[in-house]
Structure 1
Amino acid sequence: MSSDTDASLDKTVLAVSFASAVLYLFQVRSSPSYSRTLVKTSSTALLFYLSHLLGGPQFLTGALALSALGDAFLAWDGDLAFLCGLSSFLVARVLYILLFLQQQHAAGFQGLSEGGWRTAMAGGLVVLVPVMIATLMPKVGNALRVPVLVYSLTICVVDLTALTLENGRVIVGAAMFTASDSILAADKFLVPETEGYRDWMQRAVWVLYYGGQALITLGFVEPAW
């Protein structure tokens, strides 16, 4: 009976997390509010709870907790909220790096130079990240330049370490997470506020972000179905 109860709780936590993410998708363009912040934050906070509940790696649980905190900050407007959110996600990214380093396959980073799709993705990252940084820096205010630079470089390291894993869910999840960050940066710093396609960009950011976090989580913990 206990195992049945635990399995039911696992499924409930994941279902409510997913439902919160879907609900927030319809609130992405809404004005900041406490209710909107609660919906946004609860989706990732419940992934954190799921990892804790299932005894997931400490680095994963910590990264999800910090991501939920970052979600809470980024639910509000302004440079201070953005900087606090960026800081939370930066530490979360560092924890993901440590997690992936623990789990990497025997070839490690050497495997990224042996050809195939891993080498292609790693090469793409090494080209994409400097281009993105060079494009963003002239548009970013002085106070945010160093944090954005450090965060962008950290993104690159996260994805490179993810590529050393054998876990397909985590690799895809990390790539989605990075795509989300890239679109978010373009939306905030590069695209004029009057552009109509900012609507789909902001929704894409959320879908890729939550999907990436969920895949990384389910790559390390497996709810009882």
Structure 2
Amino acid sequence: MTLQTGIILASMALGGLYGVALCWRPHSLFKLVVKTGSTALLALWAYLLGGPVLLVAGLALSSLGDFFLEADEGDRFLLPGMGAFFAAHIAYIALFWALPQADRSVLNLAAQIGLIASGVVFIRWLAPSVTKEMRLPVILYGGIILMMGAAALRLEPAYLPVLLGALMFIASDVILSFQLFVRPADAPRLALPSIALWFLYYGGQALIAWGVLGNLA
């Protein structure tokens, strides 16, 4: 077994453990280590396989965001976490623009417009549930992740795993926004939405990495 294979298997093991046993449970140091470790190992795997700097940066910044969001049960580190993910999406946008692009088509343009329009409607619906202090960060974050998704929609068919990963990432953030802003702050986390959120997020990151690295071979 190569080092790279061992690292991705360890990442998947930690990601699976977090998803099936930890993601809805209260904060703990063990939970923090498992969650952050699973995504940090994805970044290390991409780096060791010679992945583009922007891919490694996107994965590493996402892992930093995971650390902040899991470091406290309250919202003390919510803004730093959002900032890390915001920077990760900038790295992904730059990466996707540098990858081979599909020929422009009416279908492609319609998909981009549909994604952005749906996102704008959702953010507008979500805004009243968000505190005034968080409203602008949420709007800015929503805008950057929609740009990331639109950039992924421009990729050649060979990068379909990257597109699926980007859309899964967006779907995970939709669930997260419900958990953070719509559900009462004192409500316990429900297992099923938390499991769906995690596997959409982790699976999305893994697909983005796999899709980019697979096309480098």
Same fold (TM over 0.5): yes
Say yes or no: does 1:148 pair with 2:138.
yes
Quick one: structure 1 residues 141 and 196, their matched pair in 2 at CA, closer, same or farther if it must change by over 3 Å? closer
Q: Which of residues 101, 104, 120 in structure 2 aligns to 1:105?
A: 101
Pairwise CA distance, 1:196: 8.3
Equivalenced residues, count: 211
Q: Which of residues 196, 217, 222 in structure 1 aligns to 2:209?
A: 217
Give runs of aligned pairs for residues 1-225 of structure 1, distance below 5 A: 8-25=2-19, 26-75=21-70, 76-105=72-101, 107=103, 111=104, 114-116=105-107, 118-166=108-156, 167-192=159-184, 198-222=190-214
Quick one: structure 1 residues 23 and 221, their matched pair in 2 at CA, closer, same or farther if it must change by over 3 Å? same
Query: RMSD value over aligned CA atoms?
Result: 1.9
**1:4 aligns to what?**
none
Pairwise CA distance, 1:38: 0.4
CA contact 1:104–1:161 (8 Å) conserved in 2: no
> For 1:55-88, what per-residue CA distance to the aligned partner results, in whole angstroms no more than 9, with x for missing partners?
1000010111111111111112222211111110
- The structure number with the bigger radius of gyration is 1
Pairwise CA distance, 1:129: 1.0
Partners of 1:196 and 1:78 lie apart in 2 by: 13
CA contact 2:24–2:189 (8 Å) conserved in 1: no
Contiguous gaps of at least 5 residues in structure 1: 1-6
Pairwise CA distance, 1:124: 2.2
Pairwise CA distance, 1:219: 1.0
> For 1:182-223, what per-residue CA distance to the aligned partner results, in whole angstroms no more than 9, with x for missing partners?
111022212346878832111111000000000000012249
Amino-acid identity (%): 38
Contiguous gaps of at least 5 residues in structure 2: none
**Amino acid paired to 2:162:** V
Partners of 2:184 and 2:121 lie apart in 1 by: 20
> For 1:85-139, what per-residue CA distance to the aligned partner results, in whole angstroms no more than 9, with x for missing partners?
11100000000000001114164xxx2xx233x3443232122111111111111
CA contact 2:24–2:190 (8 Å) conserved in 1: no
Partners of 2:109 and 2:183 lie apart in 1 by: 31
Partners of 1:197 and 1:37 lie apart in 2 by: 16
Partners of 1:190 and 1:121 lie apart in 2 by: 28
**Amino acid paired to 1:133:** I
After TM superposition, the score normalised by the length of structure 2 is 0.91
What SS does the corresponding residue of 2:155 show, helix, strand or coil? coil
CA contact 2:102–2:155 (8 Å) conserved in 1: no
> For 1:138-162, what per-residue CA distance to the aligned partner results, in whole angstroms no more than 9, with x for missing partners?
1111221111100000011001100
